[in-house]
């Protein structure tokens, strides 16, 4: 009997940990807004509400791996945790630079903090200002690109869209031996080039390669009023976090305060054809958020209510080239 070969596929990490899912007022179960996105073991902190460093320790996130912090807007429940985190990093003897991405108005506040408390800092805080009225690419490395998305609130605010960079094509293992390919040949083929044999025969790239894994994406949108045009910017996002401060019965209050409802979040997710919707930033007026979740799921079934400590892997779509079937891996875990 022929022994069946086992194919191993290495999937690099791309997952979200929710540190805080409450709105402005923390509760015994929910802290103010903060998320950590793990992209290939690089950790990005998104917003930093009060108590963020406590949540980082509570949920076993390696603080030393956080080198980039993104602040959506300058309201206290999204930024007050920064100052304690700055101090703790100093007491821990941090050495790498800490990069802060925030609206340009934050520079004055940061300079005041450094003047009062940062005279003996053992690491550098590098500030990257942005404006909120147009999309901007504010960060990129070999694995991910981060862009801002203008939102609507009582102060300048942006969302953040994280997109994994497209990977190179996968080369078929059998052709390496068949055509005696060297490292340079393999690299060119993975970049999309055809292969020319020593006798000038052209082997099309499609006969040498397999499609790469689909790049993954995550979008963070809080705080904001709902407006339909957002669906264009968020189209086909794999995981969307969208604030749902209020229930549909309080949509008038949502409009007045510059927030959104669970129904509006779900409508946006449906219109944008996202893979999965995560709602959060819940008002403390609701003893239970079950009703908000039901409202959203009536419109968009793949809706989940954020809970502090939950981990949401961003989906991976990959091909099984043995039988031509596509497999989708998606889920989340609770602590």
* Cα distance between residue 86 and residue 107, in whole Å: 15
* Cα distance between residue 223 and residue 73, in whole Å: 8
* Ramachandran area for residue 17 (φ above 0: left; ψ -120 to 50: alpha; else beta): beta
String of DSSP letters for 180-202:
T--HHHHHHHHTT--EE-TT--E
For residues 212 and 170, the answer to whether their CB atoms sit within 8 Å is: yes
Q: Is 248 a catalytic residue?
A: no
Query: Exactly one of 77, 238, 248, 308 is catalytic; which is it?
Result: 77
* Cα distance between residue 226 and residue 50, in whole Å: 26
For residues 101 and 138, the answer to whether their CB atoms sit within 8 Å is: yes
Strand pairing class (144-150; 158-164) = antiparallel
Cβ density class 186-196: b for 16+ within 10 Å, e for less: beebbeeeebe
* Cα distance between residue 14 and residue 42, in whole Å: 9
Residues recognised as catalytic: 77
């Amino acid at each position: 009997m022929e022994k069946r070969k086992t194919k191993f596929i290495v999937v690099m990490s791309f997952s979200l940990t929710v540190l805080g899912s409450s709105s402005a007022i923390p509760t015994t179960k929910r802290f103010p807004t903060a998320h950590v996105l793990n992209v290939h073991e690089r950790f990005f902190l998104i917003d930093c509400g009060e108590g963020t460093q406590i949540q980082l320790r509570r949920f076993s996130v390696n603080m030393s791996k956080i080198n980039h912090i993104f602040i959506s807007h300058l309201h206290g429940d999204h930024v007050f945790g920064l100052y304690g985190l700055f101090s703790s990093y100093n007491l821990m003897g941090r050495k790498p630079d800490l990069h802060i991405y925030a609206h340009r108005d934050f520079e004055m506040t940061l300079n005041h903090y450094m003047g009062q408390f940062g005279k003996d800092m053992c690491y550098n805080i590098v500030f990257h200002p942005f404006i909120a009225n147009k999309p901007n690419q504010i960060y990129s490395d070999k694995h991910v690109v981060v862009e801002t998305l203008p939102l609507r609130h009582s102060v300048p605010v942006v969302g953040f869209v994280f997109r994994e960079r497209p990977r190179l094509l996968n080369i078929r293992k059998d052709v390496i031996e068949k055509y005696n390919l060297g490292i340079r040949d393999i690299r060119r083929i993975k970049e999309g080039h055809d292969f020319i044999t020593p006798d000038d025969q052209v082997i099309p790239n499609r006969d040498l390669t397999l499609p790469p894994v689909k790049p993954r994406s995550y979008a963070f949108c809080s705080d904001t009023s709902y407006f339909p045009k957002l669906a264009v910017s968020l189209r086909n996002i794999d995981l969307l976090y969208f604030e749902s401060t209020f229930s549909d019965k309080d949509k008038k209050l949502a409009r007045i305060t510059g927030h959104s409802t669970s129904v509006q979040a779900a409508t946006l997710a449906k219109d944008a054809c996202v893979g999965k919707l995560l709602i959060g930033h819940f008002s403390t007026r609701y003893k239970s958020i079950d009703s908000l979740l039901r409202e959203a799921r009536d419109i968009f079934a793949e809706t989940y209510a954020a809970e502090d400590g939950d981990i949401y892997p961003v989906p991976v779509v990959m091909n099984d080239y043995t039988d031509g079937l596509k497999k989708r891996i998606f889920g989340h875990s609770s602590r």
